[in-house]
Amino acid sequence: MKLKICPKCGCEDLGDRWCKDRKLQQYCHDEDCNWVGTPRTPERRRITDMKALRVDDFWGWDYVIYDRFGHKSTISRSYGTEQAAIKEMERDLKFGENDPDAGPYTGVLFKTPARVVIHGKMFKMKGGICTEAKPTP
């Protein structure tokens, strides 16, 4: 049975850790307590065919400036709003107007999300053969 508070010190900061025979064991985070619970069979969790993937540390609006030959000239930092990114991109594009060798420049604005959800295919071994499986309800 999973507890909400430590029976030894009353602390509510309990954690789970894996122990022998693929069992979970609760323990108290209080460094003076050292309480550990009885190993238990872990709760069943639903296996899903999707996951959230962190896209970038720098989410928001950013842009890349290319010269007339298609080479990257500038890679911007991330901006919190589209307007702020466009304002800075416009400033960088103006440099391309006066660049006789590489101008005019082209800017590409990107909205980078913090994460995206992707779907995969689930597989199980059935009769010694790896076969596609349906997600568990």
pLDDT in tens, 83-113: 999 999 999 898 888 888 887 889 999 988 8
| Amino acid occupying residue 58 | F
Distance CA 135, CA 79 (A): 38
Please tell me the pTM assigned to this model: 0.50
Which residues are CB-neighbours of 48 under 8 A, at least 6 positions away?
135
Residue 14: its pLDDT value, please? 94
- Domain ranges in the chain? 1-43, 60-112
Residue 69: its pLDDT value, please? 82
Residue 57: its pLDDT value, please? 66
Distance CA 100, CA 86 (A): 23
Residue 28: is it exposed, middle or buried by C-beta count within 10 angstroms (0-12/13-18/19+)? buried
Residues of the chain with pLDDT under 50: none
Residue 29: its pLDDT value, please? 93
Residue 5: its pLDDT value, please? 92
Residue 95: its pLDDT value, please? 84
Rg (CA), the chain: 27
Residue 51: its pLDDT value, please? 74
Instruction: Provide the token pair at 46.
Output: 């639903």
